[in-house]
Amino acid sequence: MNKLNHIAIIMDGNGRWAESRGKRRTFGHKKGAQVVREITIHASNIGLNFLTLYAFSTENWKRPRHEVEFLMKLLDEYLQKELPTYLEHDVKFNVIGDISKFSKKLQNRISYTMEKTAHCKGLTQTLAINYGSKDEIIRAIRRLDSCKDINEESFDKLLDTADMPPVDILLRTGGEHRISNFLLWQIAYAELFFIDTLWPDFNSAILDEIIKQFGKITRRFGGI
């Protein structure tokens, strides 16, 4: 059985799910937030150590203004509402990405949630917000004092994910087969799963099936 520490998910399909039901895209994002809660609790219950969710990319600012504003408000409300859930399930909340682009109110909400859950010892749930892997790598390079002693291990420590292990499973919902600038360094040896299920229809049973498939894979990491 393969050791499973870290699952990363590209949560795709909220807008299409809503539009297929004659609803506004924002309706899908709201439903998607409910699925985030379900999957986080389930991941905690099964003993997963790290769950990283792609919530808002550096490219998502290109979306219509009203949708971006809704997503910012939804994130603020989600963190406020779910803090008791984090504490109840011993979940540590974390973020990766450049949050300096967000409003001070949202930055404070993020910092407050991280502070209040810093002592939690179970699952670490990380939201990738205003995150892009290319941006992350460039920011890491800017932190370099010199290139003289740089290697994979030292470069790891400069990334947003410095305190996290490599990704074991990268999952994308919604039927698309691309990485979309997500954790390009960290998924070097991840097992990739692309499924047609839209994120609002995703559930813990589907996740369990993917974990079961992962357990049957022979992981060689370049060896024989």
**Positions marked catalytic:** 12, 60
* CB contact at 8 A, 52 and 8: yes
Contacts with 178 (C-beta within 8 Å, 6 or more apart), sequence order: 172
Q: CA nearest 204: which of 82, 26, 43, 1? A: 43
Contacts of 30 (CB under 8 A, 6+ apart): 74
Other C-beta atoms within 10 Å of 76: how many?
Answer: 17
Task: Give the number of other Cβ atoms within 10 Å of residue 37's Cβ.
Answer: 13
